[in-house]
């Protein structure tokens, strides 16, 4: 099973700042099968990025994804108030696993 | 629009079973696989398994094998997840999520609203 390790666990930032979230895999993951999700309290997750770098329908362009192999990154260029949430990476390669999540909180 | 509507919250005693439904609408049911994911209170997401609505082919996550059963009813476009031998560690929100596969990419979209299952004596 591929283990996804997200860091940091919590990111404390102010609106307007840039957020950089990391997702590291225990073995190589095809970029086609790496996705990012956002989850707000009391809500189901929603997809932001699929295929490591493709924004899902309706996702603002301040969200971007990059990376390959074992290292992937989600970047939020300028945090809006509605972006404070928990973010998960997911891989579809060997079995299917999620990272432990990164909470982006207001500083 | 595509919708996944799950059954309501459940309270079960240890050792019992629970069956959660996920009724779909707005798309061709047999065209997309469905996953089940759970989330314990304050914890992350845990994948439980996938069901193919056409032939009913199923893959369960190893840690749930022997305890989980996923089924589907094509006449009502509904998928089901049944978990047996419940313990307090099974207290969680259970989600269904459609496997959106396009151009050899995979992602989950949309998700059901979630069903809280509480296991308590």
pLDDT at B113: 98
pLDDT per residue over B23-51, tens digit each? Answer: 999 999 999 999 999 999 999 999 999 99
pLDDT at B104: 84
pLDDT per residue over A34-93, tens digit each? Answer: 999 999 999 999 999 999 999 999 999 999 999 999 999 999 999 999 999 999 999 987
CB proximity B42 to A under 8 Å: no
- Does residue B116 contact residue B12 with C-beta atoms inside 8 Å? no
| pLDDT at B92 exceeding the cut of 90 | yes
CB contact under 8 A, B45 and A88: yes
Pairing state between β B34-39 and B18-25: unpaired
The percent of residues in chain B predicted with pLDDT above 90, rounded, is: 91
Count of C-beta atoms within a 10 Å radius of residue B35: 22
Which residues of chain A lie closer than 8 angstroms to B107, CB-CB?
A: 35, 47, 50-51, 56, 90
| pLDDT at B56 exceeding the cut of 80 | no
pLDDT at B109: 95
Task: Please tell me which residue of chain B has the smallest CA distance to A9.
Answer: B44
pLDDT at A12: 97
pLDDT at B28: 95
Sign of the C-alpha dihedral computed for residues B36, A94, A87 and A57 taken in this order: negative
pLDDT per residue over B1-18, tens digit each? Answer: 999 999 999 999 999 999
| pLDDT at A13 exceeding the cut of 90 | yes
How far apart are the C-alpha atoms of B113 and B117, rounded to whole Å?
A: 13
Mean pLDDT of the region B60-74: 94
CB proximity B116 to A under 8 Å: no
CB proximity B108 to A under 8 Å: yes
How far apart are the C-alpha atoms of A14 and B72, rounded to whole Å?
A: 46
Q: Which of A44, A51, A89, A102 to mutate to test the interface with B (most CBs of B within 10 A)?
A: A44
CB proximity B98 to A under 8 Å: no
- Does residue B37 contact residue B107 with C-beta atoms inside 8 Å? no
pLDDT at A95: 85
pLDDT at B93: 98
């Amino acid at each position: 099973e591929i283990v996804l390790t997200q860091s940091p666990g919590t990111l404390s930032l102010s609106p307007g700042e840039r957020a950089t979230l990391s997702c590291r895999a225990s073995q190589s993951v095809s970029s086609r099968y790496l996705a990012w999700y956002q989850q707000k309290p009391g809500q189901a997750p929603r997809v932001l990025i699929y295929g490591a770098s493709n924004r899902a329908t309706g996702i603002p362009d301040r969200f971007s994804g990059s990376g390959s192999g074992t290292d992937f990154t989600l970047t939020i260029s300028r945090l809006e108030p509605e972006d404070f949430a928990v973010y998960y990476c997911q891989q579809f390669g060997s079995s299917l696993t999620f990272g432990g999540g990164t909470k982006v909180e207001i500083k | 629009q595509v919708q996944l509507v799950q059954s309501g919250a459940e309270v079960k005693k240890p050792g019992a079973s629970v069956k959660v439904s996920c009724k779909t609408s707005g798309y061709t049911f047999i065209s997309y696989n469905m996953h089940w994911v759970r989330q314990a209170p304050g914890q992350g997401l845990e994948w439980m398994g996938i069901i193919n609505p056409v032939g009913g082919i199923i893959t369960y996550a190893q840690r749930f094998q022997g305890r989980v059963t996923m089924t589907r009813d094509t006449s009502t476009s509904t998928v089901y997840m049944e978990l047996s031998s419940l313990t307090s560690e099974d207290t969680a929100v259970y989600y269904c999520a459609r496997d959106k596969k396009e151009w050899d990419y995979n992602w989950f979209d949309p998700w059901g609203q979630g069903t809280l299952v509480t296991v308590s004596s």
